[in-house]
Amino acid sequence: MGIITARDSRLLVAETDGQLIGCCHVESRSAGDAYLGLVSVRPYLQDRGVGRTIVANAEREARARWGAQQMRMRVIRQRVELIAWYERLGYQRTGETLPFPYDNPSVIATRSDLEFVLLAKPI
């Protein structure tokens, strides 16, 4: 089952004047937890609050649809500016890390030192 059709998963899109300007994936995980991923905003609209609005809507959706109390996500450790942005939105590092999926043939990596850090926020 794909993320678009999964029962406890939603792909949220942001549009303006019929044009897609951003999106994210949100899904229910364990009791009280939701997962946020694939947050994307058209590059020319970054730094204009679109991403902040997308994340806020994902948090509201997770609370309303699944009763989530916490949003979790993973971000590549080397993306320090992105981690800092999520921290400004109230996300905190959990201290947990996950390995990068180098063994997945669909993943192309240009360096060998990648790993994910986990972030979480009460919602």
- Domain boundaries, given as residue ranges, for the chain: 9-122
> Can you give the pTM of this predicted structure?
0.90
Please, what are the averages of pLDDT over each run of 10 residues along the chain (123 residues)? 73 94 95 95 95 97 96 97 98 97 93 97 98
pLDDT at 7: 80
Strands, E assignment, 29-114? 33-41, 70-76, 92-99
Domain at 9-122: CATH code: 3.40.630.30
Radius of gyration of the chain (CA): 15
First to last CA, the chain: 27
pLDDT at 4: 66
As a whole number of angstroms, the distance between CA 118 and CA 88 comes to 15
As a whole number of angstroms, the distance between CA 40 and CA 51 comes to 7
pLDDT at 18: 93
pLDDT at 39: 97
CB 27 within 8 A of CB 35: yes
Exposed / middle / buried, residue 24 (Cβ in 10 Å: 0-12, 13-18, 19+): buried
pLDDT at 6: 76
pLDDT at 1: 46
